[in-house]
């Protein structure tokens, strides 16, 4: 058990009996989870069920359980990474749905070509998937076991491809800026990132990057 969890439990902080691997998985929800004022110690979203349903429908086009599974597949296998790499290979972004500003995205991708060709936008896609899993569970679209499977699979992908919380956070920011048509983080996202990296209460400051992510469902 990590010192972070031991001290928290001594102080009476409720961790819902989550193991360190699960806490790490929630921490990998990162900036998006922080901006949405989510707990880093429990699976359920702090937003009511109706609001989770609304977020999923408006942001991701998810209206039913099978749509949630489709979103999972897209984020794991394509996501904005595929769109970005398509842009760099010369494909016409404007032919794709929900592509934002094609010219702005191309300019951003071209300016960051070397790093994007190596990593894609994996941090962005998998960070989003972790939060989508929490909303999908809270909306009643998937079970808690399914949500943890989604979260821990993405957490392992993140851990395997980046070297630290800082490295992961940097790449998540690149994903946000690509999605935001080359524009920098808005103030709320910037403040959330700073909190995660520097605040002593942040799980990124407490949980080691190389945490054993072996997770055995209860």
- Is the alpha carbon torsion for 53, 54, 58, 59 positive or negative? negative
Domain boundaries, the chain: 47-206
Q: Residue 94 has what DSSP assignment?
A: G
Note the pLDDT tens digit of each residue in 102-121: 889 999 999 999 999 999 99
Q: Residue 67 has what DSSP assignment?
A: H
Cβ(124)–Cβ(176) below 8 Å: yes
From 86-90, 97-101, 206-210, the region with the lowest mean pLDDT? 97-101
Among 160, 161, 152, which residue's Cα sits nearest to residue 134? 152
Read off the pLDDT band of 217 (50, 70, 90): confident
Q: What is the pLDDT of residue 105?
A: 92
- Determine what percent of the chain is predicted with pLDDT higher than 70: 89
Q: What is the pLDDT of residue 139?
A: 98
Instruction: Report how far Cα 194 is from the mean position of its chain's Cα atoms.
Output: 16
Q: What is the pLDDT of residue 12?
A: 40
User: What gap in Å lies between CA 97 and CA 1, rounded to an integer?
Assistant: 46
User: What gap in Å lies between CA 27 and CA 41, rounded to an integer?
Assistant: 9
Say if residue 216's pLDDT is above 90.
Answer: no
Count, residues in the chain: 218
User: Average pLDDT in the 179-202 region?
Assistant: 95
Note the pLDDT tens digit of each residue in 117-168: 999 999 999 999 999 999 999 999 999 999 999 999 999 999 999 999 999 9
Q: Give SS3 for 112.
A: coil
């Amino acid at each position: 058990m990590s010192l972070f969890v031991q001290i928290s439990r001594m102080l009476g902080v409720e961790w819902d009996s989550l193991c360190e691997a699960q806490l790490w998985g929630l921490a990998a929800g990162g900036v998006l989870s922080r901006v949405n004022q989510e707990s880093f110690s429990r699976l359920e979203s702090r937003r009511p069920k109706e609001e989770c349903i609304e977020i999923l429908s408006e942001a991701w086009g998810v209206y039913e359980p099978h749509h949630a599974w489709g979103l999972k597949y897209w984020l794991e296998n394509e996501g904005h990474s595929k769109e970005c790499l398509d842009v760099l290979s010369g494909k016409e972004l404007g032919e794709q749905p929900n592509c934002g500003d094609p010219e702005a995205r191309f300019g951003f991708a071209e300016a960051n070509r070397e790093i994007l060709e190596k990593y894609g936008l994996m941090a962005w896609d998998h960070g989003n998937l972790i939060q989508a899993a929490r909303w999908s569970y809270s909306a009643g679209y998937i079970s808690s076991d399914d949500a943890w499977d989604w979260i821990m699979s993405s957490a392992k992908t993140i851990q395997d491809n980046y070297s630290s919380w800082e490295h992961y956070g940097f790449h998540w920011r690149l994903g946000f800026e690509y999605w935001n048509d080359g524009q920098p983080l808005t103030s709320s996202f910037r403040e959330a990132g700073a909190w995660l990296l520097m605040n002593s209460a942040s799980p990124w400051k407490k949980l080691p990057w190389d945490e054993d992510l072996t997770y055995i469902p209860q």
